[in-house]
Structure 1
């Protein structure tokens, strides 16, 4: 059942008050708003376990996410960085449901305060954010669907100083490089310096992982750059 405007406001305010009153690195456990959302999260995870299809899970998460929005808003508005399993889980669910902007809103807070992922997630927070969004972009690009370049730029900025395996970071550079030069040609060269920027991103991906799959993309971008070069006069 959808929450009324009054219920949403009440949950957001309560979450904000509890988050503001909880010291950094201390768990949100024990707070009324947190415990209520944690109980809901456990129920929803049981529902998700009954769905075998990843597409089905993503569709169900998209339906479930609005119920957590007031809580998330309250914590992001007033939180001091308390450990929060609800917040970190919802961040991942937003990625799974293709709400990348919403996921990165949480990611900015999570990374700023060094929040830990729940034990069931094996990767560090920064690695998970970078790799999950990169893999979503690469999957879309592989099928010709493209991916929002600003989302990739924001992910790069948020995770730039985060420690992660080179192979994971290479995926993000590869996806961003591909998105930068996507649909560009001699007649549509994009913004000044755009092709060069794409080349640098693709080179960085290959430096981090020579098997990342970006060599053909790099060759194509370099050929395009040569076509765009002004003719040399005698």
Structure 2
């Protein structure tokens, strides 16, 4: 059931007030708004566990996420970085449903305050954000869908630049960004100034991080294309 405007306002205000009182060294456990939302999260996780299909899980998450908006807005408004399983889980759910901009908005808070992912995720927040967004982009690219927003990938690269993660995970993100940068470029279409060169640099970095990332063919094609453009303008 959707929240009324009054309920949403009350939940947002309470979350902002309680998160403002909780220091980064503490957990939000015990705060009324957090406990209410955490209880809802546990119930929703049980519903998700009963679904085997990833598409089905994503569809349910899309229905559930609006219920968390007031709480999340309150935390972002007043929060000082207390550990918060609701915030980290909603961040991941937004990635799962394709709301990458919303996920990165939350990731900014999570990474700034070094929030810890629940143990079940087995990855740091920075690694999870980088790898999950890269995986979504690579999956779309493999399927021939080149509409994945490269600005999302650039923003993810910037936000996770100083985050510790396996080289293979970071290589995925560079590979996805490189491919997205080179989309639709051809002998006739070079794109914006420096775009082709930027794509090549991203692919080189991906291969440098992980030789088996799968970007060597992309790099060969891009370098041949650069030579053709160079010859045409000589």
Common fold: TM-score over 0.5: yes
Distance in 2, matches of 1:25 and 1:138, equals: 37
Distance in 2, matches of 1:132 and 1:194, equals: 25
**Structure 1 segment 88-107 matched on structure 2, within 5 A:** 88-107=88-107
TM-score by length of 2: 0.97
Distance in 2, matches of 1:4 and 1:207, equals: 52
**Structure 1 segment 12-161 matched on structure 2, within 5 A:** 12-146=12-146, 147-161=148-162
Distance in 1, matches of 2:222 and 2:7, equals: 52
1:101 Cα deviation from its structure 2 partner: 0.6
Would you say 1:181 and 2:182 are equivalent positions? yes
Q: Which ranges in structure 1 are unaligned for 5 or more consecutive residues?
A: none
Q: Which ranges in structure 2 are unaligned for 5 or more consecutive residues?
A: none
Question: What CA deviation, in whole Å up to 9, does each residue of 1:159-181 have, x standing for no partner?
Answer: 00000000000000000000000
1:229 is paired with a residue whose SS is helix
1:230 Cα deviation from its structure 2 partner: 4.7
2:120 is paired with a residue whose SS is coil
4+ residue runs of structure 1 moved beyond 4 angstroms? 230-233
1:71 Cα deviation from its structure 2 partner: 0.5
- Alignment partner, residue 193 of structure 2: 192
1:170 is paired with a residue whose SS is helix
Would you say 1:225 and 2:217 are equivalent positions? no
8 Å CA contact 1:51, 1:57 repeated in 2: yes
Distance in 1, matches of 2:19 and 2:222, equals: 48
8 Å CA contact 1:25, 1:115 repeated in 2: no
Alpha carbons of 1:232 and 1:21: their partners in 2 closer, same or farther (altered >3 Å)? closer
TM-score by length of 1: 0.97
Question: What CA deviation, in whole Å up to 9, does each residue of 1:45-84 have, x standing for no partner?
Answer: 0000110001110111011000001111110111100000
**Structure 1 segment 200-211 matched on structure 2, within 5 A:** 200-211=201-212
Distance in 2, matches of 1:3 and 1:132, equals: 30
Alpha carbons of 1:228 and 1:96: their partners in 2 closer, same or farther (altered >3 Å)? same
Would you say 1:7 and 2:11 are equivalent positions? no
8 Å CA contact 1:19, 1:79 repeated in 2: yes
Alpha carbons of 1:231 and 1:186: their partners in 2 closer, same or farther (altered >3 Å)? closer
For this pair of structures, how many residues does the alignment match? Answer: 233
2:119 is paired with a residue whose SS is coil
